[in-house]
Every structure is written in C-alpha cells, then in structure tokens.
Amino acid sequence: MWDLTHELGSGLPYPGDPQAAVTPHATFEADGYRVAEVACSTHSGTHVDAPAHLLADGATLGAYDVETFAFDARIVDCTAFDAREPIPVARVPDTDADLLVFHTSWSEHWGDQRYFDHPYLTAAAAARCADLGCHVGLDAPSVDPSPSEHATDDEPTGYPAHHALLGGERLILENLRNLGALPQRCAIRAYPLPVDADGAPVRAVADD
C-alpha cells in the first residue's frame, strides 16, 4: 500500500488561499491531555475538487456516494514535461479506468515556490478525460496553470481544464505524491472529510 497524501499543514498554500495549520490547543503539561486545533480550507493539502468549486450550480461532495472515492486508476507518465508545459490531448490514453492520474514528479517541489510552475492539462486533454468518463488526479496543485512570476502571456487564462472536468461532473484530485512508486494500473482510495462543500482534504492511498 502506498500513501499518496501530503501531511496537512505542510507545504505552501495555493496562492491566495489560507495556510493550513495544526496547532496545540491543550497540552499534556498544562492540562493533562492533548487537543490540537486544525485550520484549513476545503482545498488544503491533498484534496478533491467537486463541481461546486467553480460552477454556480455545481454538485457539492454530498452529492457523491462514498464508493465514488474508491477508484480504478490508470497512471499516465508525464515526467518528461517541463515547467509550465501543457499536457496535450494526445497524452490521454484510451482506458476503461475511472481515474486518470497524471504523474509529473512535481511533488518533488512540495514546499517550494517552484511547485507552482508545474505542467498542466490543456482544455482539450481535460475534455477528453471527461468524455472517457474519467475523474482526474495529479501530483501538482492544479490541472490549470497556477499563478507564478514565471507565467507567460500564451498560457490559458481562467480555469479551462477545471471547467471541462467539473462541467462533466468529474472530480479532481490535486496535490498527490509518491506516484512514481505506483504500477500503471492500481486501486486508489481518496476519501474526503465528510463535509458537504466544494471540496475537502482527502487521505489518498493506493494498492495494486
């Protein structure tokens, strides 16, 4: 079994989002027991996006049965793609899996500003995933380009890959890690916190 989850509170938040934190509330020395306070957004750390994230009438996580988050996954090797390079539709394989996971190796930059210069899906690639009936995951902060001082004028604006997937009622798993350890086909379970919201942190694990 492989753990695909970053520790909540580690790394850098997505630009504009709050920093997740786990801080002591009660200590053994002062109170005789321990309680920690957890503060995070619905998109902190390794998390899942629901359609409500970007669609006015999009479904929240509460619309999905818990078994939805147990996926038959196909790993797509995208480690040859460079910083801020688009992943084209030709890289999307035909598959009967219900989750396509794009392995970019960008999780190696977790905690560094370079993390936000990741490869990203073109709108056409995202639409192809949705047409195949596939949810999407990746080891990067977004399926679209992230804000960065290295952004260029020829990059797409807005969130076209998000819209293609969420508009097709597909879920998006972001900030995965350890994808290089996985076989090409595996089972991935990524259960969100039980909040009926636009997204939530998940504990993602895989086995073959």
What is the residue-level pLDDT of the chain in tens, covering all 208 positions? 999 999 999 999 999 999 999 999 999 999 999 999 999 999 999 999 999 999 999 999 999 999 999 999 999 999 999 999 999 999 999 999 999 999 999 999 999 999 999 999 999 999 999 999 999 999 999 999 999 999 999 999 999 999 999 999 999 999 999 999 999 999 999 999 999 999 999 999 999 8
Strand pairing of 185-192 and 135-138?
Answer: unpaired
The total number of structural domains that make up the chain: 1
User: What CATH code is carried by the domain that includes residue 76?
Assistant: 3.50.30.50
CA 59 vs CA 17, 47, 53, 196: distances in Å: 22, 16, 9, 9
pTM over 0.85: yes
Q: Which of the residues 53, 118, 135, 162 is marked catalytic?
A: 53
Contact 87, 122 (CB under 8 A): yes
Active site residue 53: yes
Contact 101, 140 (CB under 8 A): no
162: exposed, middle or buried (Cβ count in 10 Å: 0-12, 13-18, 19+): buried
Over residues 141-167, the pLDDT tens digits come to 999 999 999 999 999 999 999 999 999
Distance separating alpha carbons of residues 89 and 106, to the nearest angstrom: 20
Domain around 175: 2-207
- What local confidence, expressed as pLDDT, does residue 208 receive? 87
